[in-house]
Structure 1
Amino acid sequence: MKKSYYLLLMLFVAVFSGCKKEEEDPVDKIFSFDIKNEKEFVATKNEINAAYTASSNGFNFPLPVSGVAGDTEADFRENNTSTSLVTDIRVREVYLTMPDNATEDFSFLEKVDIYIAMDKDDPNPLLMAYNRAIPTNVGKKLVFTPTDASVVKYVKAGEYALILKDYKMRRQVTSDLSITARITYTVTANPLK
């Protein structure tokens, strides 16, 4: 009996000695949730080809995607919080897609950064996500790496602009591009505020 008790104790110690408890704020864990925003837009052939020509000559002008909006207050209410209790919002996932039947794909791009701004004329946009190594066989979905920047002021505003800039293109395009931007944010709220 003592031998089996000793064996059980050693097993317990072996199992739990390898577990490392991560330090995590319990409030953040309990009061974090995801929200999603989506924006369909058309990047015209003329805009893209003009950007290609400009970038070939050493210029890089931004391509704005205005009016991305979500019903953030409704998203917050759905998660039992409100705008006033939200303390932080970080980008979790960003990607652009084209319809399956589109004649183009994202292979015309070599790299591109996505900035978030209060509007398309905001002089201080914030780098939100990037893809600086787009493969030539990328297809119709372009996934970005999010930065760790807080975007709380933009998302809480309810409407914001995305700005595609610092891009490099491989070629011109042959048609207008219907694109959907999909963004997932992780929201942290503090109910004790």
Structure 2
Amino acid sequence: MSRFGIFIILISIVCSCSKLDELTKFNIDYETEVTIPASTGISLPFDIFTPDTETNSESKFESNDTRKDLIESIKLTKLQLDITSPDDADFSFIESIEVYINAEGLDEILIAYKEDVSETASILDLDVTDIELKEYIKKDSYSLRLNTVTDETLGQDHEIDVNSTFYVDAKILGL
């Protein structure tokens, strides 16, 4: 076989591996809710805890042709807050916010934040940290802690959806 033929075969193998590698990358979305209570103090940090979020990681990995032991990396790519109640509310009452993740047997770590919030919209996109989170998502569940500072007194409770997207890079059944 000529050198050109070997070169073509090698290029084909590399391209095939690249295409397979793309099949091992997918997103997992989670949603949970929190309530910021009315009459929360101004300029004082306070914590809001989400209920445990079931990861269902085994089935989510399986539906993407992989397993927990084949996960190479999981990182948060998006964390968005969406006020669902009251209808006319916006995020102008928040001065700053930090979001931490916690799972059984693991340390709590900062995953997203927003400083000097002046949003007059009902949706707030937070800045995400570039931290490895595979051990948290591989657990059965995780919880979030929102550390928030407000700059206004709230007259009523604010219901907020917390929407997160995690980018998963895994091997497809060992390939």
- Give your verdict on TM over 0.5: yes
Matched with 2:149 is 168
CA–CA separation in structure 2 for the residues paired with 1:174 and 1:94: 26
2:110 to 119, 127, 149: 127
2:69 to 76, 84, 88: 84
Kindly indicate whether the alpha-carbon contact (under 8 Å) linking 2:43 and 2:149 is maintained by their aligned counterparts in 1. Answer: no
Aligned letter for 1:190? K
Kindly indicate whether the alpha-carbon contact (under 8 Å) linking 1:115 and 1:128 is maintained by their aligned counterparts in 2. Answer: yes
Larger strand proportion of the pair: 2
Structure whose alpha-carbon radius of gyration is higher: 1
How far has the Cα of 1:117 moved from its partner? 0.7
CA–CA separation in structure 1 for the residues paired with 2:112 and 2:80: 9
CA–CA separation in structure 1 for the residues paired with 2:52 and 2:108: 14
- For this pair of structures, how many residues does the alignment match? 157
Aligned letter for 2:34? F
How far has the Cα of 1:124 moved from its partner? 3.3
CA–CA separation in structure 2 for the residues paired with 1:174 and 1:87: 46
CA–CA separation in structure 2 for the residues paired with 1:153 and 1:106: 32
How far has the Cα of 1:96 moved from its partner? 0.8
**C-alpha root-mean-square deviation of aligned residues, in Å?**
2.4
Q: Give the TM-score of the pair, scaled to structure 1.
A: 0.72
Kindly indicate whether the alpha-carbon contact (under 8 Å) linking 2:74 and 2:169 is maintained by their aligned counterparts in 1. Answer: yes
How far has the Cα of 1:136 moved from its partner? 4.4
Larger helix proportion of the pair: 1
Q: List runs of 5+ in structure 1 lacking aligned partners.
A: 1-24
CA–CA separation in structure 2 for the residues paired with 1:123 and 1:176: 31
Task: Give the fraction of aligned pairs with identical amino acids, expressed as a percent.
Answer: 23
Kindly indicate whether the alpha-carbon contact (under 8 Å) linking 2:55 and 2:142 is maintained by their aligned counterparts in 1. Answer: no
How far has the Cα of 1:102 moved from its partner? 2.4
Q: Give the TM-score of the pair, scaled to structure 2.
A: 0.78
CA–CA separation in structure 2 for the residues paired with 1:123 and 1:77: 24
Q: List runs of 5+ in structure 2 lacking aligned partners.
A: 1-16
CA–CA separation in structure 2 for the residues paired with 1:162 and 1:36: 14
How far has the Cα of 1:178 moved from its partner? 1.3
How far has the Cα of 1:123 moved from its partner? 8.6
Matched with 1:112 is 97
Kindly indicate whether the alpha-carbon contact (under 8 Å) linking 2:34 and 2:48 is maintained by their aligned counterparts in 1. Answer: no
CA–CA separation in structure 2 for the residues paired with 1:95 and 1:35: 14
CA–CA separation in structure 2 for the residues paired with 1:132 and 1:102: 24
Kindly indicate whether the alpha-carbon contact (under 8 Å) linking 1:104 and 1:174 is maintained by their aligned counterparts in 2. Answer: no
Matched with 1:11 is none
The one-character-per-residue Cα deviations of 1:46-93 (angstroms, maximum 9, x if unpaired) are 5xx1xx2571xxxx3422213122322221111111112112100011
Task: Summarize the Cα distance change of 1:81–1:170 in structure 2 as closer, same or farther, 3 Å threshold.
Answer: same
